[in-house]
Structure 1
């Protein structure tokens, strides 16, 4: 498993909200459910994404914007349009269904009665992201990430359209996996751009030596790694591996491993609430629970038990979402 793929294991769509809104100007949608990642695209028309405290971003046919939460944002026909709450009606999802309040179902591009000329059809996927593994990926992303367009809707989104329009067994699983596919492709396209600033672990994944070392560390995080054993497995000297790894990733191999182990441990502490600290320690390569606790506190600033107690405390309910048109 490479570092990018490993981080994406913690970013999985499960019961994520999909929907579309066919809108005729003037209109505005206000997204305030605080989703960590929201994918937005349009199949017809266009508009503006207005993140909180950031410049507006145009969104045209076939383009996709990924907005990193939890700050709210607007989708409007023109910059300056005000969002006013309106009655939702029968074709809306509710906050109890996952967050964003907008029309469910899909438009038919061949049906002139569905939206009409000049209408904008917005497609939205609110993406749940949980855990410290996921946070490492989110920290590498800008608030708004744009994926280019050739002027036509992405075929994957058209497949989403067909799937959402039918009520079939396993529909949510299919939608979740399609969103996973779209997210991975969008992130790869962004991180591979010459003008992007990807984290060291992403760029280093292409290096034949450091990439191999990263795959070993992510594939076997609990193994008793040393610089010597990593160098032997990657076919270079210890000094070569240490220098090349540090130059490309930004920290020495064993420092990277220690931070990755603590990231894994943080998620294990919250996901396996019945596991003891000693069991979590063994799962990430520590035979001594005391040594693990000391290392965890050094990296995270709190003991494993204190981290678990804080992370599993009841969360405050997210606010509702408003969708509307100016009054």
Structure 2
């Protein structure tokens, strides 16, 4: 498993919105889900994405997919306008039908939009979402017309399991769209994403994501990559921006935050799963990175702080100095 797999593994569509919507010049859809990510795919026709953080409206045609980063509402419109009157907007959310079709409109004039909202609550995917632009449009370079026809067919029927089919296809489209965006020349992909293709750094990254609880040392990671410790430390820091063991601690603490929020495991159990022999060293590392103790983080995620107070983890990240020490970052679990 590589970091891209790890960060998107648990991201799932929560009800694909769909509709055969005729967008006249005085009419537009405003998506109000507040979702961190929304995927929009025109199956027929075209429209303009108007986002408050985007410099100008972006045209989306059949054969393209757009990912919109929230939680701000955005507009899908028939024309490239930056503002609309309230009576021109129809508020919608993913999971409801987006139908606005006059009786005298034929199929050839219809705009068919498929959209899915992704309410990402875990911290792991946030490492990826934070580097995405407000709106990204990716052309179809692989001729997915047959898939679009299949999606259109699914929209027109009421067969059992239709919603699951649409959700899973949207999940697949989301992953492919983000990956294709990062692969474009000039795209601001995360440094670790570029480093995955490196013969030295790639194996070390995959090893840490495959088994974050292993007692990795610089020597064992270098052996996995087939290079010396010095070579790995230098190359990893150059490409990723931080030393291997610093990256490992950060990834472990990201996983720990999600485990504490989503499970009932004790702090000691989470510590052991992530390669720590006891809860003390684990708690110190967790507080250094997230700004609160593991127990406090669990309380805050289950009982959020009042509006206006920063959520847990929103503190400047502290990292250990670069180095090439041949010692485990933490003590290995007791056998």
Report the TM-score, using the length of structure 2 for normalisation: 0.82
**Aligned equivalent of 1:244, options 235, 242, 247:** 235
| Larger RCO (alpha carbons 8 Å, 6+ apart) | 1
Q: Are 1:82 and 2:84 matched, yes or no?
A: yes
Alignment correspondent of 1:59? 60
Q: Are 1:211 and 2:202 matched, yes or no?
A: yes
- Find the residue that maps to 2:41 and give its secondary structure: strand
Alignment correspondent of 1:282? 272
Aligned CA distance change for structure 1 residues 40 and 5 (closer, same or farther; 3 Å): same
Alignment correspondent of 1:184? 175
Report the TM-score, using the length of structure 1 for normalisation: 0.84
**Aligned equivalent of 1:170, options 152, 155, 161:** 161
Alignment correspondent of 1:38? 38
Alignment correspondent of 2:6? 6
**In structure 1, how many angstroms separate the alpha carbons of the residues matched to 2:9 and 2:23?**
39
Aligned CA distance change for structure 1 residues 113 and 43 (closer, same or farther; 3 Å): farther
C-alpha displacement of 1:46: 1.9
1:125-140 to 2 correspondences below 5 Å? 125-140=116-131
Unaligned runs of 5+ in 2: 307-335
C-alpha displacement of 1:44: 2.6
> Contact 1:25–1:119 at 8 Å: present in 2 too?
no
**In structure 1, how many angstroms separate the alpha carbons of the residues matched to 2:146 and 2:120?**
25
Aligned CA distance change for structure 1 residues 3 and 51 (closer, same or farther; 3 Å): same
> Contact 2:30–2:89 at 8 Å: present in 1 too?
no
Deviations along 1:52-85, whole A, 9 cap, x unmatched?
Answer: 1422111222221110111110111123363646
**Aligned equivalent of 1:226, options 201, 204, 217:** 217
Aligned CA distance change for structure 1 residues 218 and 269 (closer, same or farther; 3 Å): same
**In structure 1, how many angstroms separate the alpha carbons of the residues matched to 2:85 and 2:65?**
22
- Which stretch shows the higher mean deviation, 247-256 or 59-68? 59-68
Paired positions, count: 302
Alignment correspondent of 1:267? 258
- Find the residue that maps to 2:125 and give its secondary structure: helix
Deviations along 1:170-227, whole A, 9 cap, x unmatched?
Answer: 3333222211210111111110111112111101111122110111100110011100
**In structure 2, how many angstroms separate the alpha carbons of the residues matched to 1:131 and 1:198?**
20
Root mean square deviation, CA, Å: 2.8
Alignment correspondent of 1:19? 18
C-alpha displacement of 1:288: 1.2
